[in-house]
Amino acid sequence: MGWVDFSADDRERVKHALKQLAEPGTLDELGIGSLRDGFADLLFPGFSTIQTRAKYLITIPRMLRDYLALPVVVRRRQSPEQYLVERENKLAASLTKRHVGEGVTGIIGSSMGEGEGVTRHPSSVYWVALRIWGIVATTASRNQFLRSLRSDEDPLGSTLLDEVDDNDAGSWGSRIKLDRYAHDWFENVGIHLTNSEAAFLSEKLRAGPFHSLPTQFEHHDLRNEMLGYRSFPALAEGIRIKTDLPVKTRDAVEMAHSFSELICGAHIRFNHLVAVKGGRDDLITAYGQEWEAWSQSPHVGPESVAQWVRETRARPNVYTLQFLNDWSGAVAKGATLSSLDELVRQQAVRNKRERSILNKPLPREFGWIGMKRLDYRWSQVRTILSDIREGLAC
């Protein structure tokens, strides 16, 4: 596959999208990814499926502060982009060495070999989160922000024009927030948060987008309780009974849950079609049973689709929007399996065309293909919130 990009920002977006496609359970055979991502952005803004640990929300701004602390003559010889690449590679090596044999997961670059560099730079993976949660006060992209640092211009899109930071009188330092700054922080860096770092991130989440779930968890002291829910459906059930949460927040969770449940049926029928094509009687039986269980529950009708699109500001293409309306309407009316399967078949082929698994030879062994019930990045958010909980307990 190839693509044309016109800037480093374009390249980063494409690399991010390709990485997400490699994540288990994200293969979008039915083209509903924009609505899924819209709900994820509504519930968990700034988070993504390729974020691993909360520590990177601390190390990236510290690296930026380190760069600003360099003598001007040194900064003229080394751009902030070059500096970040060098430091992120060293961070990967340091964290890997520090935690070797401990079974620690989520260290970006832990598998790189001698002389290799990090393929996924934390500053790219976490940049949107740093912006949304107010850790770096700017609306600029990562590359725009770094270019501004390099040219000594005011940071493009800065949201804090006059704020002064007690830790750094310079205007640049005031835009990069930290719990505290120590020039030797890198010497003993580890993947786990200190108490101070965890408290800092907790406060940043508390001050974040008001109706988002992480912000509401902090406001209502629900973080630790919600971490007990390992799946999004379980989380949605837990939130349903929290009547002290804002109605807008609970409604967003309920809509996301309803969408997930509705589209789960379509993915069951899709996998049933694949099983029939592959002559897999075992899977045909299993998916038939899943369908029977799914069909016992009530599901929303077409009237909900427009509301989902409006609330998430998602932009599904015309035929995907038509499929969602047709599918929800057919389910509500109790349409025949053959007509439901035809809706799914048409959507899969329109979405993937010749690349659809329905149009390609099947591998000898295959199982479930694509999505099922949607997670909306809760597993990644849960890991980061767990890091904060453990840091606060130190």
Supply the pLDDT for residue 27. Answer: 81
Q: What is the pLDDT of residue 149?
A: 82
Looking at the fold, whether 146 and 60 belong to one and the same domain comes out as yes
263 & 382 share domain: yes
| Residue 219 shares a structural domain with residue 337 | yes
Residues 243 and 268 in one domain: yes
My answer on whether 246 and 322 are in the same domain is yes
Q: Are both 102 and 112 inside the same structural domain?
A: yes
CA distances from 190 to 91, 297, 308 (A): 9, 47, 41
User: Is residue 160 domain-shared with residue 230, that is, in the same domain?
Assistant: no
How far, in Å, CA of 24 to CA of 36, rounded?
15
* Phi, psi for 168 (deg, rounded to 5): -160, 110
Task: Give yes or no: residues 169 and 224 share one domain.
Answer: no
Query: Model confidence at 170, in pLDDT bands (50, 70, 90)?
Result: very low
| Rounded Cα distance, 289 and 283, in Å | 10
| Final residue of a structural domain among 168, 192, 216 | 192
Residue 76 lies in a domain: yes
95-141: per-residue pLDDT in tens? 999 999 999 999 999 888 777 888 889 999 999 999 999 999 999 99
Tokens 């379509």, located at residue: 266
Can you give the pTM of this predicted structure?
Answer: 0.87
Q: Answer yes or no: is 264 within a domain.
A: yes
Whether residue 5 lies inside any domain: the answer is: no
Q: What is the spatial distance between Cα 359 and Cα 349, in angstroms, rounded to a whole number?
A: 8
- Helices (H) and strands (E) counted in the chain, each on its own, are 18, 0
Question: Which residue range is the domain that position 167 belongs to?
Answer: 55-192
Q: Are 203 and 248 found together in one domain?
A: yes
pLDDT in tens, 309-337: 999 999 999 999 999 999 999 999 999 99
**C-beta of residue 296 within 8 angstroms of C-beta of residue 56:** no
Tell me: do 263 and 341 sit in the same domain.
yes
The number of folded domains in the chain is: 2
**Which residue has 């969770």 as its token pair?**
253
In the chain, the largest separation of any two C-alpha atoms, in whole Å, equals: 74
Same domain as 197, residue 185: no
Identity of the residue numbered 111:
S
Banded model confidence at residue 26, pLDDT cuts 50, 70, 90: low
How long, in residues, is the chain?
A: 394
Q: What is the spatial distance between Cα 81 and Cα 94, in angstroms, rounded to a whole number?
A: 20
Distances (CA, A) of 302 to 157, 306, 328, 334, 367: 40, 8, 5, 14, 31
* Boundary-marking domain end, from 169, 192, 215: 192
Considering the domain boundaries, does residue 234 fall inside one?
yes
Judge whether residue 201 has pLDDT over 70. yes
